[in-house]
Amino acid sequence: MTLGILRAISRRPEDLVLCTVLAVKGSAPRHPGSKLLADASGPVLGSVGGGRGEAMVLGACREVLAGGAPRVLGIDMQGLEAEGPDMVCGGTSRILVELLADRAPYREALAILEKGERALLVKRLDTGEVLRVGADPGRARAALESGHPILDEAAGLLYDPLLPPDKLLILGGGHVGRALAALAPALGFAVTVADDRDAFLGPERFPPGVATLSGNYTEAVARFPIDPSTYVVIVSRGHLCDLECVRAVLGRPYRYAGFMGSLRKTRLVLDQVRADGRDPAEVDALHAPIGFEIGAETPEELAVAIAAELIATRRRAPAAAAAHAARTVRRQG
Per-residue pLDDT tens for 186-241? 999 999 999 999 999 999 999 999 999 999 999 999 999 998 889 999 999 999 99
- Same domain membership, residue 298 and residue 237: yes
Expressed in angstroms, the distance from the first to the final Cα of the chain is: 43
Q: Span 288-313, mean pLDDT?
A: 96
Cβ 44 vs Cβ 13: under 8 Å = no
- Same domain membership, residue 170 and residue 147: no
Please identify, among 111, 142, 162, the residue that sits at the C-terminal boundary of a domain: 162
Please identify, among 130, 162, 194, the residue that sits at the C-terminal boundary of a domain: 162
166-183 b/e (C-beta count within 10 Å ≥ 16 → b)? bbbbbbbbbebbbbbbbb
Examine the pLDDT at 22 and tell me if it is beyond 60. Answer: yes
Binned at pLDDT 50, 70 and 90, residue 300 comes out as: very high
- Same domain membership, residue 204 and residue 114: no
Examine the pLDDT at 129 and tell me if it is beyond 80. Answer: yes
- Same domain membership, residue 215 and residue 120: no
Q: Write the CATH number for 242.
A: 3.40.50.720
What was the pLDDT predicted at 79? 53
Which residues are registered as beta bridge partners of 224? Answer: none
- Same domain membership, residue 186 and residue 93: no
Q: Alpha carbon of 108 to those of 6, 78, 249: distances in Å?
A: 10, 39, 32
What was the pLDDT predicted at 78? 61
What was the pLDDT predicted at 82? 37
- Same domain membership, residue 279 and residue 184: yes
- Same domain membership, residue 195 and residue 85: no
Residue numbers of the domain that contains 306: 166-332
Percent of the chain with pLDDT over 90: 74
- Same domain membership, residue 248 and residue 153: no
Ramachandran sector of residue 312 (left: φ over 0; alpha: ψ -120 to 50; beta: rest): alpha
Query: For 224, phi and psi rounded to 5 degrees?
Result: -85, 135
- Same domain membership, residue 315 and residue 200: yes
- pTM, whole model, 2 decimals? 0.76
- Same domain membership, residue 279 and residue 208: yes
Q: How many domains does the chain have?
A: 2
CA distance 180 to 168: 10
- Same domain membership, residue 250 and residue 134: no
Examine the pLDDT at 88 and tell me if it is beyond 70. Answer: no
DSSP conformational letter for 148: S
- Same domain membership, residue 211 and residue 128: no
Ramachandran sector of residue 75 (left: φ over 0; alpha: ψ -120 to 50; beta: rest): beta
Please identify, among 112, 142, 162, the residue that sits at the C-terminal boundary of a domain: 162
pLDDT averaged over every residue in the chain:
91
Query: For 74, phi and psi rounded to 5 degrees?
Result: -100, 125
H or E segment and range at residue 157: strand 157-162
What was the pLDDT predicted at 83? 47
